[in-house]
Amino acid sequence: MSGPDISALLLTGWLALVTTLVLLIVGTPLAWWLARTSSRWRPAIEAMVALPLVLPPTVLGFYLLLLFNPTAPIGAAWLWLSGDTLTFSFAGLVVASCMYSLPFMVQPLTSAFTALSRGPVEAAASLRATPLDTFFSVVVPLSKRGFLTAAVLTFAHTLGEFGVVLMVGGNLPERTRVVSIAIYEHVETLAYTEAHTLSLILLLTSFVVLTVVYASNRSQAVRVG
């Protein structure tokens, strides 16, 4: 395997990891709110979270191209803060991936939080645990499986991201050239051997990762049942 392909693999893994961490931080409170709220806005927020599941990546990519460009407010603000544009940069890919993979983090977490019985949470509160303490000492351990599923699905989904990256990335080696883009380029230039190598790596990684999720879900189910 060539140097550029190895760096594409590393970049993809790094992007998936950063995206998963950011979404853990952003997605957890959102999922907690969705699981507990009785707000009338809840259906609309849930729909917004689920949008990336049904929209083609081209829609997100198109909007991001318009939002990220240095003459638009968001693009200009980022350029002023960081000195770099959001398009054609790793930071831009992280933002795009977070939007694109949001449902994969939020939905499993919301189900896990909804499935929690109120008993332990209320018990913790009656023992004067702060809400934050309750969350980390009671909710998180009880929702372990939900967190694992959410994190693994987000990671795997980001590994496989293609359309949005293609539209806003600019195919820059070591910055935005992820594996899916590298495969696309190999296929287009008829370099099928390289395309096979990278595809097989992605296929096996995704398979292993998903098997881990399903296996852990199963063992949990067996233990509970």
Partner 1 sequence: MRWPSIIAVWRTLETTTSANRTRSIHATLPGCSSIGFCVIRRSLIVLAAAFVTAGTALADTIRVGVASNFLGPATDIASAFETATGHTVLLSAGSTGKLYGQIVAGAPYDVFLAADTARPKALIDKGFAVSGSQRTYAIGTLVLWSARGDVPVTLSRLRAGSYRHLAIAQPTLAPYGRAAIETLSALALTDRTADRLVFGESISQAMSFVATGNAELGFVAKAQVVALSGQAPGHYWQVPAELHRPIEQAGVIVRSDKPAAAEFFEYLRSPVAHDILTRYGYRSP
Nearer to partner 1, 32 or 184 (CB): 184
Q: Which of 90, 26, 137, 136 is nearest to 78 (CA)?
A: 90
Q: How many Å apart are CA 143 and CA 108, to the nearest integer?
A: 10
Select from 120, 184, 199, 212 the one that contacts partner 1 (CB under 8 A): 184
71 binds partner 1 (CB under 8 A): yes
187 binds partner 1 (CB under 8 A): yes
Q: How many Å apart are CA 113 and CA 109, to the nearest integer?
A: 6
Burial annotation 70-93 (CB, 10 A radius, 16+ → b, else e) = eeeeebeebbeeeeebbbbbbebb
CB of 65 to partner 1, least distance (A): 5
* Piece of 7-15, 35-43, 65-73, 115-123 that binds partner 1 (CB under 8 A): 65-73
Select from 32, 185, 212, 220 the one that contacts partner 1 (CB under 8 A): 185
CB of 199 to partner 1, least distance (A): 14
Nearer to partner 1, 5 or 110 (CB): 5
* Piece of 19-27, 136-144, 178-186, 203-211 that binds partner 1 (CB under 8 A): 178-186
170 binds partner 1 (CB under 8 A): yes
CB of 88 to partner 1, least distance (A): 5
Q: How many Å apart are CA 97 and CA 90, to the nearest integer?
A: 10
65 binds partner 1 (CB under 8 A): yes
Let me know: does 59 contact 163? Beta carbons within 8 Å: no
Residues making contact with partner 1 (CB under 8 A)? 65-66, 68-72, 75, 85, 87-88, 166-168, 170-172, 181, 184-185, 187-190
